[in-house]
Amino acid sequence: MSRNTLMGNLKMLTIVAGARPNFMKIAPIVQAILAAQKRGQNISYRLVHTGQHYDAKMSDTFFTELNIPEPHAHLGGGGGSQAEQTAAIMVAFEKELLVNPADLVVVVGDVTSTLACSIVAKKLQIKVAHVEAGIRSFDLSMPEEINRMVTDSITDYFFTTTTWAGDNLRANGISDERIFFVGNVMIDTLLANQHRFKKPDLWEELALQKGSYFMMTLHRPGNVDEESKFSALFEAIIKGAQGYPLIFPVHPRTRQVIENLKVKAAEGINRLSLKDVPNLHLTEPMGYLEFNYLVERAKAVVTDSGGITEETTVMSIPCLTLRDNTERPETCEIGTNELVGTNPESIGPMLNKLFSNNWKKGGIPEKWDGKAAERIVDILLKIG
């Protein structure tokens, strides 16, 4: 007799979250499950936080801000190299599933936790559903691309953000009946919380005004780990911003590079001295509500993040992506995003295009309407 029969056909899901991008994606799924329960649907869930992001500013604040219930389990898998982190999460998640069996493990995005927990679930003969399946940069130098490929190679049910992502899956032999085009859960969270965006203290401190400053995020190893390259990119952004304030919430890995550059500038080793840039404002990592308050009112965003390009597309904010490729081409083909590349010389002309008011207006991709999580839960209730 199956566990479902013993429990009255209750469908038990284990939902995995581990890093900052995951939290925005699981929040609407959890809320959609709770809404289904209120309608009398026989579904339950167990939320597992792997601890991949173990800094409170990168993790805990998101649970509070997005009204995500406290995780049922915290695996403490943060720290170490990617291999060490993957191994730690796998060992802990296997113990979790052995004690708390599930009918289905739901993973989101493309972080280390996504890969690690998918492998563990499949080896325990538990089916896997991947939310945000099928996106591809086709760049194997990105750890996230490897995570996506491996996860999708063993997934049972695929929930996609675009038809393009579904085409990628079909090209790899995935049958149509396992692919579900549901839309973008990141946008569910954005639209559900847009009215709650919170003005940060620095808005008044810096006398910011709508459309009169830039937001920045840089964290990808290819952009920040090599000091000379990071310095050149930074210098090009500062020059191209034409004196407009640059608000830069600094990722922990980026802050260390900046501190090294400050030391070398003081010693006369490199020419970029951040003390001589009055329009540059470095801040600690921000919560979701404060960060998006600033994004929504910015002149533009300069980033190397993928998820932010989705949010700027929906908010109609120009976005300059310092990458040579993207796994979210819809943000360029439909939205407000442009791939600038990683050559510092490309930044100035793109900023000149922005200041000349020649930036595209952009549109919103299909099904990015705030209802993706509802569609996902409706489908989960129907599949075996």
Q: What is the C-alpha separation between 117 and 103, in angstroms, rounded?
A: 14
- Do β-strands 104-108 and 127-131 pair in parallel, antiparallel, or remain unpaired? parallel
Higher pLDDT, 79 or 319: 319
DSSP at 146: H
My answer on whether 56 and 149 are in the same domain is: yes
Q: Could you give the 3-state DSSP secondary structure of residue 96?
A: helix
My answer on whether 180 and 140 are in the same domain is: yes
Q: What is the C-alpha separation between 151 and 129, in angstroms, rounded?
A: 10
Residue 229: CATH number of its domain:
3.40.50.2000
178 belongs to a structural domain: yes
Tell me the pLDDT tens digit for each residue of 217-244: 998 888 888 888 888 898 899 999 999 9
Q: Return the pLDDT at 8.
A: 42
Q: Return the pLDDT at 72.
A: 96
Q: Return the pLDDT at 57.
A: 55
Res 2 pLDDT > 60: no
Q: Return the pLDDT at 7.
A: 39
My answer on whether 232 and 177 are in the same domain is: no
318 belongs to a structural domain: yes
My answer on whether 236 and 321 are in the same domain is: yes
Cross-strand partners of 249: 283
189 belongs to a structural domain: no
Q: Indicate the number of domains in the chain.
A: 2
Reported confidence tier of residue 253, pLDDT bands at 50, 70, 90: confident
Catalytic one among 72, 74, 219, 281?
219
Reported confidence tier of residue 270, pLDDT bands at 50, 70, 90: low
My answer on whether 211 and 173 are in the same domain is: no
Q: What is the C-alpha separation between 144 and 146, in angstroms, rounded?
A: 5
My answer on whether 221 and 302 are in the same domain is: yes
If you average pLDDT over residues 195-208, what whole number do you get?
97
219 is catalytic: yes
Element (H, E) at 290: helix 288-297
Cross-strand partners of 338: 320
Burial readout 277-297 (b: 16 or more C-beta within 10 A, e: otherwise): beebbeeebbbbbbbbbbbbb
User: In what order do the strands lie in the sheet containing 246-249?
Assistant: 280-283, 246-249, 214-217, 300-303, 319-321, 337-339
Which tokens belong to 233? 């990119």
Domain residues for the domain of 330 are 196-355
227 belongs to a structural domain: yes
Q: Return the pLDDT at 264.
A: 66
My answer on whether 266 and 329 are in the same domain is: yes
238 belongs to a structural domain: yes
Question: Is the Cα torsion angle 175, 115, 25, 361 positive or negative in sign?
Answer: negative
Reported confidence tier of residue 56, pLDDT bands at 50, 70, 90: low
pTM above 0.75, yes or no: yes
My answer on whether 304 and 157 are in the same domain is: no
128 belongs to a structural domain: yes
Reported confidence tier of residue 198, pLDDT bands at 50, 70, 90: very high
